[in-house]
């Protein structure tokens, strides 16, 4: 029997309303603190092109750490397994901006989705492209089929002004020889990367190549081979939702990547991609309403990888 995705999304939108005031926006980035937490959007993009939306699905938001997924895909498509000499593939079990673990492990980040790992990935891209942030933006525009995607320069400036811990992480890795470009360049580019804005529809569409085993669904363009796509999906499952990845896998059962802007993108391999956005976060830095919405989605559709 066909699944009525629209009915399910509408019902989820109603179910999560009471959670919206209970989350906490990412106020350590001043510009994000001004975003109202009383917003929720959800979009499903099926591999045959069908799209379903509810709530604020067309409102653009700061994607923040969700961009780490696309940066990793771009770096992996160019460098392959060489990137694993500089960044690991294990869950961190620590906050995404931890310094202590990085020092203990001699400047090698646990995975590409914590801040240290994302800075290494940006460093890899900076060695490949004249401007890594512009290359990533163009890549995401192509994947989303949306040439209007852009940086939010106000958010980027706000993030750069408060990037003290990221500077500390970068200098520590530089000291261990695991950052090759100037620290200032990497931090500046990384803050710009995190400021890229998308809405739920654009985000779900952009990540659909990972649901489609590495190729863009509408034209067949191959971004990653089947094996590489599988590996990135595995990293999303084990490392994509900060140090709450185990709980997320237990509750939702899908590979996903979250960001402190309140966005989460998740996928059902071979079927669809789903994006949610609600700015209020839980203690781990994931969208409070967004995680619950994804849990309800997999329950109501009986779609998960388990």
Task: Identify the pLDDT of residue 96.
Answer: 67
As given in the structure block, the two tokens for residue 294 are 């994804």
Burial-class residue 104 by CB neighbours within 10 Å (0-12, 13-18, 19+).
exposed
pLDDT tens-digit readout, 149-195: 999 999 999 999 999 999 999 999 999 999 999 999 999 999 999 99
Pair 135, 125: CB distance under 8 Å = yes
Query: What tokens appear for 278 in the block?
Result: 């609600």
pLDDT at 167: 97
Catalytic residue among 5, 45, 52, 242: 242
Q: Which of 190, 228, 257, 258 is catalytic?
A: 190
Confidence at 95, pLDDT banded by 50, 70, 90: low
Task: Specify whether 158 is catalytic.
Answer: no
The domains located in the chain, with CATH, are: 5-64+196-301 (3.40.710.10), 65-87+95-194 (3.40.710.10)
Query: Encoding tokens for residue 165?
Result: 């811990």
Give the CA radius of gyration of the chain: 18
Q: What are phi and psi of 134, to 5 degrees?
A: -70, -40
Q: Is 195 a catalytic residue?
A: no
Candidate list 16, 52, 68, 98, residue with the active-site label: 68
DSSP 222: B
* 68 included as an active-site residue: yes
Predicted pLDDT of residue 1: 66
pLDDT score recorded for residue 101: 83
Number of Cβ within 10 Å of residue 280's Cβ equals: 23
Q: What does the pLDDT look like over 24-78, one tens digit per residue?
A: 999 888 889 999 999 999 999 999 999 999 999 999 999 999 999 999 999 999 9
Per DSSP, the three-state class of 94 is coil
Beta pairing partners, 52: 44
């Amino acid at each position: 029997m066909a699944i009525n995705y629209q009915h399910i999304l509408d019902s989820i939108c109603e179910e999560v309303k009471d959670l919206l005031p209970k989350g906490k926006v990412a106020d350590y980035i001043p510009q994000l603190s001004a975003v109202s937490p009383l917003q929720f959007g959800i979009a499903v993009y099926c591999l045959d092109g069908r799209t379903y939306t509810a709530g604020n699905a067309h409102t653009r938001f700061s994607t923040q750490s969700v961009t780490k997924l696309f940066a990793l895909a771009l770096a992996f498509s160019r460098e392959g397994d060489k990137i694993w000499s500089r960044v690991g593939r294990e869950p961190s079990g620590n906050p995404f901006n931890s310094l202590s673990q990085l020092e203990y492990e001699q400047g090698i980040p646990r995975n590409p989705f914590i801040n240290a790992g994302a800075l290494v990935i940006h460093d890899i891209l900076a060695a490949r492209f004249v401007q890594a942030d512009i290359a990533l933006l163009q890549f995401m525009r192509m994947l989303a089929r949306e040439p209007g995607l852009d940086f939010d320069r106000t958010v980027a400036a706000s993030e750069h002004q408060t990037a003290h811990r990221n500077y500390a992480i970068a200098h520590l890795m530089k000291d261990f020889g695991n950052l090759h470009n100037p620290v200032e360049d990497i931090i500046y580019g990384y803050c710009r990367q995190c400021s890229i804005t998308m809405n739920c529809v654009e985000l779900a569409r952009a990540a659909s190549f990972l649901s489609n085993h590495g190729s863009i669904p509408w034209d067949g363009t191959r971004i990653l081979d089947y094996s590489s796509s599988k590996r990135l999906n595995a990293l999303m499952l084990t490392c994509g939702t900060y140090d709450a990845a185990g709980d997320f896998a237990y509750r939702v059962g899908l590979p996903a990547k979250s960001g402190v802007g309140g966005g989460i993108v998740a996928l059902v391999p071979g079927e669809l991609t789903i994006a949610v956005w609600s700015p209020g976060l839980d203690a781990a830095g994931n969208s409070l309403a967004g995680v619950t919405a994804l849990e309800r989605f997999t329950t109501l559709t009986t779609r998960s990888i388990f």
